[in-house]
């Protein structure tokens, strides 16, 4: 099974800052990598697919990059509503999918 | 816009069968090329993919859980369900139903989740 490792597990930043969350796969997954945002008590929200493609309606301050084993989710101009836990997820194997451990983003 | 809502018992006794239902509104469960999926999140842990049913009715399960899980659909009610045999305390989690696309690996639309506690 592919293992997904996210770092950091949590971070705290101020409004207007730029933050980066990294996700590493245990093997080459090309660009089969998606990102989700989850706020407590809410349905998780699909943000980015295929490593760098923004889902419709997602603010442009979110961006994704990477390929192979190393990926990054960047949030520019951090806003209060971005406080959430972010998960990466691989879909390299069409019969089994794994998530990263999550990164909790706090606004100072 | 599609909406998904999970329902089921909040508390299940160990060794019993957990049954959860996902009611889909805003779209027919039989239309399109979608994968009707279950994902769970144990407290303090990350998300775990459980399995899915394609619009055609074919199913795929997490091979680590396979023998205990069944996903089925009730077309007349526009619902799909999860049955989990012989639950243990380790199955205590928030369970999400999801509509997936892209070969089943892109989790596009999620329910809010339902908490299931396994305890005697």
pLDDT in tens, A68-98: 999 999 999 999 999 999 999 999 998 999 9
CB contact under 8 A, A99 and B47: yes
Question: Which residue, A67, A64, A58, A57, is CA-closest to A28?
Answer: A67
**Chain B residues inside the 8 Å CB shell of A33:** none
The residue of chain A with its CA nearest to that of B5 is A43
DSSP A65: E
Q: Contact B60/A99, CB-based, under 8 Å?
A: no
Cβ–Cβ of A96/B108 closer than 8 Å?
no
Residue B66 in this model has a pLDDT that exceeds 90: no
Q: pLDDT by residue (tens digit) across A7-54?
A: 999 999 999 999 999 999 999 999 999 999 999 999 999 999 999 999
Residue A67: pLDDT over 80: yes
CA distance B53 to chain A (A): 12
Residue A78 to chain B, least CA–CA distance (Å): 24
pLDDT at A94: 86
């Amino acid at each position: 099974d592919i293992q997904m490792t996210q770092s950091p597990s949590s971070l705290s930043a101020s409004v207007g800052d730029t933050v980066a969350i990294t996700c590493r796969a245990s093997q080459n997954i090309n660009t089969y990598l998606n990102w989700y945002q989850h706020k407590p008590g809410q349905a998780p929200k699909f943000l980015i697919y295929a490593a760098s493609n923004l889902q419709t309606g997602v603010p442009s301050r979110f961006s994704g990059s990477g390929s192979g084993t190393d990926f990054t989710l960047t949030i520019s101009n951090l806003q209060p509503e971005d406080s959430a836990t972010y998960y990466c997820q691989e879909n390299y194997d069409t019969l089994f999918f794994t998530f990263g451990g999550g990164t909790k983003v706090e606004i100072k | 816009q599609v909406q998904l809502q999970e329902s089921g018992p909040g508390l299940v006794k160990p060794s019993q069968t957990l049954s959860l239902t996902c009611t889909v509104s805003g779209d027919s469960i039989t239309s399109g090329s979608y994968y009707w999926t279950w994902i769970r999140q144990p407290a303090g842990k990350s998300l775990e993919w459980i399995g899915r049913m394609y619009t055609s009715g074919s199913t795929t399960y997490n091979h680590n859980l396979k023998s205990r899980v069944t996903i089925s659909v009730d077309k007349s009610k526009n619902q799909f369900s999860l049955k989990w045999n012989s639950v243990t305390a380790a199955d205590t989690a928030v369970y999400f139903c999801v509509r997936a696309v892209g070969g089943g690996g892109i989790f596009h639309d999620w329910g809010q989740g339902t908490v299931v506690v396994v305890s005697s």
